[in-house]
């Protein structure tokens, strides 16, 4: 970090940032161009000449603009920021300075992603979200390449191509895009019970984050912290969002995928542009080496969590994202994360999934970024010095001087010198065994933690999970696949299996041999992690000609004071006429911003405005849809006419706030509380069409 509030990485990137304002157009060779709209030809109607170097260069560069998208996690959005530890309390466990030196702000670049969809797919599909953090530490780059769910589908890296082939669009017709609701994925799932725990997470609302800013992150694997004496401690990494963990609802996500496929990407971008910097707390679960076998699951099994009730999450520091990239391709697309990028004080374990990843990431960068020098691409360059004997390859960006490109040497004075105080030394784990292809027996229980997850859900979370299984399996054509999944679910919980079976036309299986163990882990439920804040929530205020301008202004001011964003929407853009003839500015026309793009809707008074809206199908649908999606709905005075038109009965309904004109302050307070609660999933919505 440097004095002006910018990070060292930001300053490093200054060297390659290019600004084209007040410049003249040139070729790649720096030659000024006289005309870029007409190719060179003999006569006005003649063919293009080979010698038109500007034309050839322009077209050739264009022809080569694309690089392969990531084979998974192709769709993503990223931002710059920093990490700072709260104190030095981890110094007893690790020599990693960025985790233990409270005065150090380490620059980071963080990329969020979906997994299955291609680069242009929609943001709000049902999927796991990637949460990849590159720390540019003074000791070199550390990448924490995690997800927003703490477990994974498979236990061994060798199964990854099978899993990804199953979840990606089917090979014969490349359908469906960015969706798990199809035969091949569920066929794989029914045949691989180790997927069961992760499928519970995938069918939960965790797969539908309202915002990247409102989701947890997990390192997933058990890693190792290593202290100055070389002693190890097992560690799991957790990111907790400051704004709480919040999700969309399924119907909403599907509609957003059409109305604004960039929903999560836009949300991240806008939050940073408006100074609402997203923030997470880093936490760690620590387990002593001698407690490796103290649990009824294996720490090396990535389909298992360590329940927080067994090992609490210890807060370590905070991550803040405060700068958007300048260029999507140069930064977000070219950033190369690799789980093998570790710094002294952090090491791996023998988790076979982690071990598989150690090979894959570097390998994939070589094809995706075109050769071994991708580490020299500005977004990937460490802040720490890079000095070694690696040479040549496509696009070498440095000019190594001297004769020595080998070790040992005398021609370069023996340099770069090997070892020294800051050198990385691997944790000296003793490993002894026969070469075998065999899964450990300690990895065999695929159901207990899936049951733990199910048991820990609130009633509405369970309803959403059942609905998700019914939807996904309802899209599966082959009956035996549906049946196979239900058989697996029966081992998680008999009621769950029966509820799913009833929705997909499959016979409910008999009660399982091993009944539900009844244990819970409250920390797993989103319902138990509420953060009551309306900050950065989007509220739509619906008006038409004849709106009560004073009320509109009062609610706008109140909503803004809560830190929420207030948009005034009307049947047309520009402005509407207020009750007293004054102009009420309109942020958007109704047809450009659907209700699914907001967290709440409010209808102020003004008889004429309310009457107009209550016979406007779009406005009626707007309110009905927000209601069925469990959002805060408010009406002031005559505004409640629109609620009646939307068939929202007199209530009371959770999160629906109706006020008379006399009590604006009380109304706004109650409405603010309803917005801060995020969604009201306990609301009965079945009778309202939307």
* Residue positions annotated with a catalytic role: 73, 147
447 is in an annotated binding site: no
Interaction pattern, residues 106-125, with ligand HDE; x per rule: CB under 6 A: -----x-x------------
**Which residue in the set 9, 54, 73, 246 belongs to the binding site for ligand HDE (CB under 6 A)?**
73
Token pair belonging to 366: 């070589």
CA distances from 307 to 216, 572, 667 (A): 15, 52, 41
70 is in an annotated binding site: yes
The whole-angstrom separation of Cα 339 and Cα 352 is: 13
487 is in an annotated binding site: no
360 binds ligand HDE (CB under 6 A): yes
Cβ-closest residue to ligand HDE? 130
Binding span for ligand HDE by CB under 6 A among 70-78, 485-493, 511-519, 601-609: 70-78
504 binds ligand HDE (CB under 6 A): no
The CB-of-68 to ligand HDE minimum distance in angstroms stands at 9
The CB-of-391 to ligand HDE minimum distance in angstroms stands at 24
**Which residue in the set 81, 117, 157, 681 belongs to the binding site for ligand HDE (CB under 6 A)?**
157
Can you give the three-state secondary structure of 93-136, one letter per residue? Answer: CCCCHHHHCCCCCEEEEEEEEECCCCCCCCCCCCCCEEEEEEEE
134 binds ligand HDE (CB under 6 A): no
Nearer to ligand HDE, 141 or 640 (CB): 141
346 binds ligand HDE (CB under 6 A): no
**Which residue in the set 178, 220, 466, 539 belongs to the binding site for ligand HDE (CB under 6 A)?**
220
Q: Tell me which DSSP letter residue 378 carries.
A: G
Nearer to ligand HDE, 301 or 599 (CB): 301
Please report, for the chain, how many H helices and E strands are present, in that order. Answer: 18, 18
76 binds ligand HDE (CB under 6 A): yes
The whole-angstrom separation of Cα 454 and Cα 472 is: 18
CB-CB contact of 9 with 326 (8 Å): no
238 binds ligand HDE (CB under 6 A): no
What SS3 class is residue 249? Answer: coil
209 binds ligand HDE (CB under 6 A): no
The CB-of-360 to ligand HDE minimum distance in angstroms stands at 4
Token pair belonging to 274: 């408006």
Task: Using CB under 6 A, count the residues that bind ligand HDE.
Answer: 25
Binding span for ligand HDE by CB under 6 A among 192-200, 357-365, 419-427, 549-557: 357-365
The CB-of-365 to ligand HDE minimum distance in angstroms stands at 6
Buried b (16+ CB within 10 A) or exposed e, 455-494: bbbeebbbebbbbbbbbbbeebeeeebbbbbbbbbbbbbb
71 binds ligand HDE (CB under 6 A): yes
Give the gyration radius of the chain's Cα atoms.
28
Nearer to ligand HDE, 147 or 222 (CB): 147
Cis peptide before 416 (omega within 30 of 0): yes
111 is in an annotated binding site: yes
The whole-angstrom separation of Cα 313 and Cα 283 is: 6
Alpha-carbon torsion (46, 50, 53, 56), positive or negative = positive
361 binds ligand HDE (CB under 6 A): yes
Cβ–Cβ contacts within 10 Å for residue 434, how many? 5
Can you give the three-state secondary structure of 148-159, one letter per residue? Answer: CCCCCCCCCHHH
132 binds ligand HDE (CB under 6 A): yes
364 binds ligand HDE (CB under 6 A): yes
- C-alpha triplet 22, 27, 29: angle, nearest 5°: 110
Interaction pattern, residues 291-330, with ligand HDE; x per rule: CB under 6 A: -----------x----------------------------
Q: Pick out the residues of the known binding site.
A: 70, 111, 160, 357, 361, 368
Residue numbers at the binding site for ligand HDE (CB under 6 A) = 70-73, 76, 111, 113, 130, 132, 145-147, 152, 157, 160, 220, 302, 337, 353, 356-357, 360-361, 364-365
């Amino acid at each position: 970090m440097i004095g002006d509030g910018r990070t060292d990485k930001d300053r490093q990137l200054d060297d390659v940032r290019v600004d084209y304002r007040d410049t003249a157009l040139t070729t790649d060779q720096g030659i000024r161009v006289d005309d870029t709209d007409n190719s060179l030809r003999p006569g006005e109607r003649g063919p293009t000449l080979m010698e038109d170097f500007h034309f050839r260069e322009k077209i050739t560069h264009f022809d080569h603009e694309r690089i392969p998208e990531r084979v998974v996690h192709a769709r993503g959005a990223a931002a710059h920021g920093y990490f700072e530890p709260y104190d030095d309390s981890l110094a007893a466990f690790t020599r990693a300075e960025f985790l233990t030196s409270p005065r150090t702000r380490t620059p980071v670049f963080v990329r969020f992603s979906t997994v299955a969809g291609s680069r242009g797919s929609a943001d709000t599909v049902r999927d796991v979200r990637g949460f990849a953090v590159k720390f540019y530490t003074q000791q070199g780059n550390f990448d924490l390449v995690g997800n927003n769910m703490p477990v994974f589908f498979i236990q061994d890296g060798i199964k990854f191509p099978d899993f990804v082939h199953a979840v990606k669009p089917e090979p014969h017709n490349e359908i469906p895009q960015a969706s798990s609701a199809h035969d091949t994925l569920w066929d794989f799932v029914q045949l691989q019970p180790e997927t069961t725990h992760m499928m519970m997470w995938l069918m939960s609302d965790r797969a539908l984050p309202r915002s990247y800013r409102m989701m947890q992150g997990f390192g997933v694997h058990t890693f190792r912290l290593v202290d100055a004496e070389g002693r190890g401690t097992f560690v799991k990494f957790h990111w907790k969002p400051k704004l709480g963990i919040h999700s969309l609802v399924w119907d909403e996500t599907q509609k957003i995928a059409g109305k604004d496929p960039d929903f999560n990407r836009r949300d991240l971008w806008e939050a940073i542009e408006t100074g609402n910097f997203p923030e997470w707390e880093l936490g760690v679960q620590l387990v002593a080496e001698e407690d490796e076998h103290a649990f009824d699951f294996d720490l090396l099994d990535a389909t298992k969590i360590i329940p927080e009730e067994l090992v609490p999450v210890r807060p370590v520091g905070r991550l803040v994202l405060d700068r958007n990239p300048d260029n999507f391709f140069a930064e977000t697309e070219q950033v190369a994360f690799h789980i093998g990028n570790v710094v002294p004080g952090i090491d791996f374990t023998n988790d076979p999934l982690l071990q598989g990843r150690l090979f894959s990431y570097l390998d994939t960068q070589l094809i995706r970024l075109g050769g071994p020098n991708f580490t020299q691409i500005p977004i990937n360059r460490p802040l720490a010095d890079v000095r070694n004997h690696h040479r040549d390859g496509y696009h070498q960006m440095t000019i190594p001087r001297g004769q020595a490109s080998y070790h040992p040497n005398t021609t370069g004075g023996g340099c770069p010198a090997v070892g020294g105080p800051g050198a990385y030394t691997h944790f000296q784990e003793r490993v002894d065994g026969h070469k075998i292809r065999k899964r450990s027996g300690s990895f065999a229980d695929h159901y207990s933690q899936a049951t733990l997850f199910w048991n820990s859900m609130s009633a509405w979370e369970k309803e959403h999970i059942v609905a998700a299984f019914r939807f996904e399996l309802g899209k599966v054509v082959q009956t035996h696949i549906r049946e196979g999944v239900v058989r697996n679910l029966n081992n998680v919980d008999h009621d769950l299996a029966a509820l799913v079976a009833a929705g997909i036309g499959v016979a409910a299986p008999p009660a399982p041999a091993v009944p539900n163990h009844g244990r819970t882990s409250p920390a797993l439920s989103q319902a138990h992690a509420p953060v009551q804040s309306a900050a950065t929530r989007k509220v739509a205020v619906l008006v038409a000609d004849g709106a009560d301008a004073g009320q509109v202004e009062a609610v706008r001011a109140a909503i803004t004071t809560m830190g929420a964003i207030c948009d005034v929407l009307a049947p047309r853009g520009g402005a509407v006429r207020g009750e007293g003839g004054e102009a009420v500015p309109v942020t958007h026309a109704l047809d450009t911003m659907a209700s699914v793009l907001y967290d709440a809707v409010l209808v102020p008074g003004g008889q004429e405005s309310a009457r107009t809206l209550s016979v406007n199908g779009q406005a009626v649908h707007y309110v009905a849809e927000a209601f069925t999606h469990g959002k805060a709905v408010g009406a002031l005075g005559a505004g409640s006419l629109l609620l009646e038109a939307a068939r929202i009965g007199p209530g009371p309904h959770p999160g629906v706030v109706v006020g008379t004109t006399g009590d604006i302050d009380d109304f706004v307070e109650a409405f603010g509380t309803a917005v801060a609660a995020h969604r009201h999933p306990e609301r009965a919505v079945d009778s309202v069409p939307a």
